[in-house]
Amino acid sequence: MIKLENTEVHGIARAIYSARNAMNSWDKSDSDFVTDTLGENDLRLARNLVKAGSDHSKFMRMINVTVDITAPMYWWKEMDTYKVGTVRNSCSTMHKVHAKEFELDDFSHDHLPENNTVLGYIVSVLNIYRKNYLETQDKAWWWQIIQILPSSYNQRATLQLNYAVLRNIYHSRKNHKLDCWHEFCHWIESLPYSELITA
């Protein structure tokens, strides 16, 4: 399970305009900075630079993408592979894991059988530890929560990336065995001028 919300993309027109610095060809730029829309000349240049490779398409690093993602911790561990050019501000398990009672839907369980009782049991145990911690403030109970918290626990974070990082992710993960990566790649395909990433 992965949820992607509140996507914002900024700097597309400015980024390709900066790519014209190498040849002093700013007069050929036909993009709209107000709407962040590429004109035909600039889109053609962007496509050609992407085809030429990452050294030539460094303008992609200047296209900023911010998105709120809720995903299981096992997905976040894999996402950490792409730390170059990314920033992540996540909800804190250290400070807020006990803030509300645990529910089954706080965990990704879409591939577990409906009658699976193991996760339900873990959720009930976590709630016992949570209750004990809230009543006693004894950190030993908090440690019990942190150390048995399954990696299927869904954590929300705001992630900032750029088109160059997204290109790397897309081509590395589009055929991954985790469904979350397939959904993430479909989200990438929905971004403006995604062909610059997916080509």
Please compute the mean of the pLDDT values over residues 120-136 and round it to a whole number: 97
State the distance between the two ends of the chain, measured CA to CA, in whole angstroms: 26
Same domain as 18, residue 84:
yes
Same domain as 102, residue 67:
no
pLDDT at residue 93, as a whole number: 83
User: For the segment 9-37, what is each residue's pLDDT rounded down to a tens digit?
Assistant: 999 999 999 999 999 999 999 999 999 99
When pLDDT is cut at 50, 70 and 90, the band that residue 114 belongs to is confident
Same domain as 35, residue 8:
yes
Which of 106, 122, 148 terminates a domain? The answer is 148
Same domain as 83, residue 10:
yes
Same domain as 174, residue 137:
no
Same domain as 140, residue 84:
no
Q: Six-digit token pair at 143?
A: 């440690």
- Helices marked H in 38-150 — which ranges? 40-52, 73-79, 93-96, 118-136, 139-148
Asked whether the CA dihedral 53, 9, 66, 193 is positive or negative, the reply is negative
CATH number of the domain at 7, please: 3.30.1360.170
User: For the segment 68-107, what is each residue's pLDDT rounded down to a tens digit?
Assistant: 999 999 999 999 888 777 888 888 887 889 999 999 999 9
Percent of the chain past pLDDT 70, that is, above it, reads 100
pLDDT at residue 86, as a whole number: 80
Same domain as 182, residue 121:
no
Domain containing 16 equals 3-89+155-198
How far apart CA 43 and CA 35 sit, in angstroms, is 15
Same domain as 75, residue 43:
yes
Please compute the mean of the pLDDT values over residues 44-66 and round it to a whole number: 96
* 131 pLDDT more than 80: yes
Same domain as 38, residue 23:
yes
pLDDT at residue 123, as a whole number: 96
Same domain as 134, residue 109:
yes
Percent of the chain past pLDDT 90, that is, above it, reads 87
pLDDT at residue 2, as a whole number: 97
Question: Based on the number of CB atoms within 10 Å of its own CB, is 194 exposed (0-12), middle (13-18) or buried (19 or more)?
Answer: middle
Same domain as 19, residue 55:
yes
Same domain as 174, residue 141:
no
pLDDT at residue 83, as a whole number: 78
Q: Which is more confidently placed, 170 or 85?
A: 170
Mean residue pLDDT across the chain: 95
Least confident segment among 38-42, 84-88, 97-101, 175-179 = 84-88
Q: How many domains is the chain partitioned into structurally?
A: 2
